Structure 1
């Protein structure tokens, strides 16, 4: 799907479900990672994640567009356009728009690195996500020296 086709689809969905025109720009934004789309308050445009089309079907894309159009039309009218606002929740129900999109993370996240430290005196082990300088810290139990076991 190209930018022009997306623009046309957004305009059609706006008139079909909301009865109002969409007078701004709709575009694909490949930099979006965790969200299906976003409505930009500054210029009134809607950006859609192209990964949605790669992972799911057109129905999921339509759902995301309808969700963003709820933000758009409420903001244009000066009503509550945020996720927690009553106006927004009611318009989602009225237009049968999804509250959330399906997960878009395609790559498997590698496990976080755990740094393991041990006290020389009492043997107490410390697991940390971040590295620490063993010269600056002492054991909290016995005040002994800490050594790095492995990173």
Structure 2
């Protein structure tokens, strides 16, 4: 799919589902990693992750576009356009758009195979599980301010 086809699709979906024109640009952004698309507040453009179209097909692409158009139209009308706003949630239901997109298989795989490091407090034995290692000489227990020690490192494959 070309960007001109994406632009045309976004304009059509805007008229079909929202009865309002889309007057800005819709484009593919290959740098998006974990999200299907995003609405840019300053330019009012919509960026779409092309990987979602390539891996899930046109239905997922249409769902992502409807979601981003909800942000777009609500923001331009001065209503609540954020995920937590009631206006946004109501409009999502009206146009049958998902609140979140499906995770890409490659991202899901990367998340599952990550390591988990377990730290414990010497004083109160509070346990902390972290995906990233921390500098135990700089950080202390959040409960009692005691010294932390590294217990073990788990890797899940």
| TM-score, with structure 2 as normaliser | 0.72
Residue by residue, what CA displacement relative to the aligned partner does 1:17-36 show, whole Å, maximum 9, x if unpaired? 00000000000001001100
Aligned to 2:57: 57
Aligned to 2:115: 112
> Is residue 36 of structure 2 the alignment partner of residue 36 of structure 1?
yes
Q: Which runs of 5+ in 1 are unaligned?
A: 117-126, 134-145
Counterpart contact for 1:67–1:98, Cα < 8 Å: yes
CA distance in 1, matches of 2:68, 2:81: 10
C-alpha RMSD of matched pairs (Å): 2.9
1:1-151 map, 5 Å: 1-106=1-106, 108-109=109-110, 110-112=113-115, 129-130=133-134
Residue-pair matches, total:
132
Residue by residue, what CA displacement relative to the aligned partner does 1:62-112 show, whole Å, maximum 9, x if unpaired? 000000000000000111101111111111111111111000241532433
Query: Deviation above 3 Å: which 4+ runs of structure 1?
Result: 113-116, 130-133
Q: Which runs of 5+ in 2 are unaligned?
A: 120-128, 138-148
Counterpart contact for 1:14–1:22, Cα < 8 Å: yes
Change over 3 Å in CA distance of 1:105–1:42 after alignment to 2: farther
Change over 3 Å in CA distance of 1:115–1:73 after alignment to 2: closer
CA distance in 2, matches of 1:98, 1:55: 17
| TM-score, with structure 1 as normaliser | 0.75
